[in-house]
Structure 1
């Protein structure tokens, strides 16, 4: 008679831990939370950090039961001190990937070197075109026929890091900067969680300026 043996199931692989930085409404934070909830993004949020106490996105974290806190940049004498405090909170939360979700502070090499892991940003243009603020209006005023959104790795140069993902949005003849921005935002919410999942899963590499997926 065969002997029955029960073997424990292997422990599930731990999910990558995200740290999300916000300054305002947090719509991309909400998109990340939704993607995790419905299984499209295999990760968990370790902490949400706002640099403003009135950031509306903090409510999204509270609703989802995600740890959230405020690190007010105005409370620090220097940008380096502020960024050291950010890194300390991210390390406490064991964050492996940082996602900028409407975080309206430019991160210096101090932060990037001290954190060490990948930092992602979503920008409402097809980089390298239209860097900086109000990119949707820049595209509309320039008269382009196709605009879009870019997810990129953050480097010390503004909006210049390796591109992880992009999506295009047609510019219609009757568009205004606001209607164009609204359609671009839909694509932000779609591709940002996808790009976060790709980076968090690992296996990718950088060749020159190119982000190359693992094989």
Structure 2
């Protein structure tokens, strides 16, 4: 069974990225991490990639006049490394370029630290905690041109009812993200996901 070739986009510390690296090293994730791309030159994820011998590139948004030009530069780099599946882990920018989204339709996934459609956007944990929800969690979904609105692949609920701070709730959710994301990436090497409207179903390889 061939490894799935993945490219990871990250803007920050890269803890979810590290969970993928660890999963590949342990043999739990049947994937080949071809490269890491960040839009942030200070992202810790870049160093994590270098520390693990993974090609790392910073493609800064500020160096491009238009958002679509930035997206296009990323798409070309992914194509250069023959990436099959694009994984967004804490990537803080919307992908809006139509060619990028069309070329990788059904092959871009994002992990969001809330149970969508509740609490989309960049402050999901804070919004959920401040709202007072007892159950939060994370969502892995396909990426389209909406804000955290693509079809849902997988969700896991996390009890945060006893968490006293936003940081405590975030850490509890993140711990489970580090289990779920590698599992879903591995599943792409063993089958395929079929999108039927808002529904997603999984078909294992024969």
If the TM-score is normalised by the length of the shorter chain, which range does it land in?
over 0.9
2:125 corresponds in structure 1 to: 136
* Aligned position for 1:183: 172
The CA deviation at 1:130 is 0.7
> What is the TM-score of this pair, normalised by structure 1?
0.89
25-34 or 167-176: bigger deviation? 167-176
Distance of aligned partners of 1:115 and 1:210 in 2 relative to their CA distance in 1, 3 Å threshold: closer
Paired residues, number? 203
Q: Which residue of 2 aligns with 1:96?
A: 84
- Would you say 1:46 and 2:18 are equivalent positions? no
Is it true that 1:123 corresponds to 2:112 in the alignment?
yes
Q: CA RMSD in A?
A: 1.4
Tell me, yes or no, if the aligned pair for 1:48 and 1:61 is still in contact at 8 Å: yes
Alpha-carbon distance, 1:141 to partner:
1.7
Q: Please tell me whether residue 159 in structure 1 is matched to residue 148 in structure 2.
A: yes
> Which of 42, 47, 51 is the matching residue for 1:59?
47
**TM-aligned CA deviation for residue 70 of structure 1:** 1.1
The match for 1:24 is: 12
Native 8 Å contact 1:125 1:136 kept in 2: yes
Q: Distance in 2 between matches of 1:202 and 1:48?
A: 24
Q: TM-score, normalised by structure 2?
A: 0.93
When you count strand as a share of all residues, which structure comes out higher?
2
Task: Identify which of 195, 199, 203 aligns with 2:192.
Answer: 203
Q: Counterparts of 1:82 and 1:46 in 2: how far apart (Å)?
A: 20
Which blocks of at least 5 consecutive residues in structure 1 are unaligned?
1-12
Preserved contact between residue 147 and residue 168 of structure 1 (Cα < 8 Å): yes
Q: Report the equivalent of 2:160.
A: 171
Higher-Rg member (1/2): 1
The DSSP-based 3-state class of the residue aligned with 1:53 is: coil
Query: How much does 1:72 deviate?
Result: 1.1
Compute the displacement of 1:183 (Å). 0.3
Greater shift after overlay, 179-188 or 167-176?
167-176
Q: Deviation per CA, 1:94-130: give whole Å up to 9, x if none.
A: 0000000111111114221244451010001011111
CA shift, 1:90, in A, is 0.2
Aligned equivalents of 1:174 and 1:121: distance in 2? 25
Q: CA deviation at 1:41?
A: 0.7
Please give the secondary structure, in 2, of the residue aligned with 1:213: strand
